[in-house]
């Protein structure tokens, strides 16, 4: 995601605790999501490509992002047809709440690389790369549960060759999830949960 800064440190807990009206308005039972624990918060249909994966493209990667936004701002960006960006999932900092914005069969626009977009599932995390306080225990745990479920359903090994950072996408000029993201912990949790 873009690096625009709207919210600096302070209101972390308050922002994380709020489910935005935009999400409440469209919230549906979890039955429609690919990940049972996720709440459906659909992106604008202008912000992703409809597909029929894995028939059209095999899913080879989970791409880990840090949004450089709050949770609610991230959902709002995905719902804005002018933004031309989306990810399949967004994980909230304070409690690890997971929203699904794009179906896994469809191609979200998150990696900045069409080939990688077609072959991956993107997970955005609320927060900023230089503010590790956003990377809470709850967020690591719930994100790891989500990634483990994705890996199980798509037959992906739970390792760093298949669970990658946005910065590892060829041609990417993004640094997320950044030096404060604890990859050792994350991969351990993915294999544990």
Nearest to 148 by CA among 82, 79, 62: 62
Does 53 bind Zn ion (CB under 5 A)? Our answer is: no
Does 65 bind Zn ion (CB under 5 A)? Our answer is: yes
Does 88 bind Zn ion (CB under 5 A)? Our answer is: no
Site for Zn ion in 164-193 (CB under 5 A): 166, 174, 176
Does 162 bind Zn ion (CB under 5 A)? Our answer is: no
* Site size for Zn ion (CB under 5 A): 4
Nearer to Zn ion, 55 or 173 (CB): 173
In the complex, minimum distance from the CB of residue 51 to Zn ion, in angstroms, rounded to a whole number: 20
Q: Which residues contact residue 179 at a Cβ distance below 8 angstroms, ignoring those fewer than 6 apart?
A: 129
Q: Which residue has the tokens 């955005």?
A: 124
In the complex, minimum distance from the CB of residue 108 to Zn ion, in angstroms, rounded to a whole number: 11
In the complex, minimum distance from the CB of residue 88 to Zn ion, in angstroms, rounded to a whole number: 13
Integer Cα distance of 156 and 24 in angstroms = 32
Distance set, CA 18 to CA 23, 33, 69, 70, 92 (Å): 10, 21, 14, 10, 10
Integer Cα distance of 115 and 1 in angstroms = 18
In the complex, minimum distance from the CB of residue 68 to Zn ion, in angstroms, rounded to a whole number: 8
Three-state SS annotation for 155-188 = CCCCCCCCEEEHHHCCCCCCCCCCCCCCHHHHHH
Omega prior to 193 cis, within 30 of 0 = no
In the complex, minimum distance from the CB of residue 21 to Zn ion, in angstroms, rounded to a whole number: 25
Site for Zn ion in 106-135 (CB under 5 A): none
Nearer to Zn ion, 83 or 155 (CB): 83
- Of 32-40, 64-72, 125-133, 184-192: span binding Zn ion (CB under 5 A): 64-72
Do you know the residue count of the chain? 193
In the complex, minimum distance from the CB of residue 123 to Zn ion, in angstroms, rounded to a whole number: 10
Judged by the rule CB under 5 A, the positions of this chain that interact with Zn ion are: 65, 166, 174, 176
């Amino acid at each position: 995601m873009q690096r625009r800064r709207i919210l600096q440190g302070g209101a972390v807990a308050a922002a994380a605790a709020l489910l935005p009206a935009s999400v409440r308005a469209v919230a549906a039972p979890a039955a429609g999501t690919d990940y049972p624990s996720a709440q459906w918060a659909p992106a604008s249909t202008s912000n992703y490509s409809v597909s029929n994966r894995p028939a059209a493209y095999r899913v080879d990667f989970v791409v880990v992002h840090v949004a450089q936004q709050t949770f609610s701002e991230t959902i709002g960006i995905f719902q804005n047809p002018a933004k031309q960006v989306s990810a399949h999932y967004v994980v909230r900092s304070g409690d690890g709440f997971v929203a699904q914005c794009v179906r896994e069969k469809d191609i979200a626009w998150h990696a900045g690389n069409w080939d990688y977009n077609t072959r991956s599932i993107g997970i955005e995390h609320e927060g900023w790369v230089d503010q590790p306080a956003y990377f809470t225990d709850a967020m690591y745990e719930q994100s790891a549960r989500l990634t483990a479920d994705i890996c199980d359903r798509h037959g992906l090994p739970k390792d760093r060759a298949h669970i990658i950072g946005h910065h590892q996408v060829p041609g990417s000029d993004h640094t997320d999830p950044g030096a404060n993201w604890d990859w050792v912990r994350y991969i351990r949790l993915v294999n544990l949960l």
